[in-house]
Copies of this chain bind each other. A is one copy, B any other.
């Protein structure tokens, strides 16, 4: 069975600062037509940032879409001034945390909710961090607090329902998996 749907037409509904919305009419595999509501969103980068005490950096911020404070891995939109998703992540790690990292690795990339949106996130891992004296400013409408958490605390926060962001829950589970598989997270040299 060919599962492909074919776009017949697209009706633009809204073009915003962060999202665009359209309603597409498509042809189904059986020849019938249906509509699909599609949200477009810029790609973003996110990072699993680990310090030499084996702690992960999370940022606390207000999320109006769910009207609650969340704890999330540092992340941000890849904007037109960024040469690449990695470049965007280095800028965001500076802005949101005030850190620079020596060691970087790409973990994977994914769509957060392909059923209705095209938001794509590039996920990185970094360690060997140093605190910057010349931290960049946050965006004007961005307020957050960055803190470090050990794996046991993170697992407790998930089980207590205090970490509710999927990419962050995945990041923690991926990091636990790295540790279980015995992949080296760089140890303190002292």
Contact = CB atoms under 8 A, between A and B. Distances in A.
Interface string A43-86: 01000000000000000111111110110100100000000000
Chain A interface category by residue count:
35 or more
Tell me the number of copies of this protein. 2
A5 B111 contact: no
Interface in A136-190: 140-141, 143-145, 158-159, 161, 164-167, 169-170, 173-174, 176-177, 180-181, 184
Contact of A116 (B4, B18, B180): B18
Interface string A6-34: 01000001101111010110101110101
A169 B84 CA distance: 23
Contact of A17 (B14, B35, B174): B35
A16 B5 contact: no
Among A26, A35, A110, max chain B CB count under 10 A is at: A110
A165 B21 CA distance: 20
A36 interface: yes
A64 B7 contact: yes
A37 interface: yes
17 contacts: A3-B60, A3-B143, A5-B62, A7-B67, A19-B21, A19-B37, A19-B116, A30-B143, A34-B141, A65-B118, A70-B114, A108-B159, A111-B166, A113-B119, A114-B164, A114-B165, A170-B170
Ranked 5 nearest A-B pairs via Cβ: A34-B141, A36-B64, A112-B113, A170-B170, A63-B114
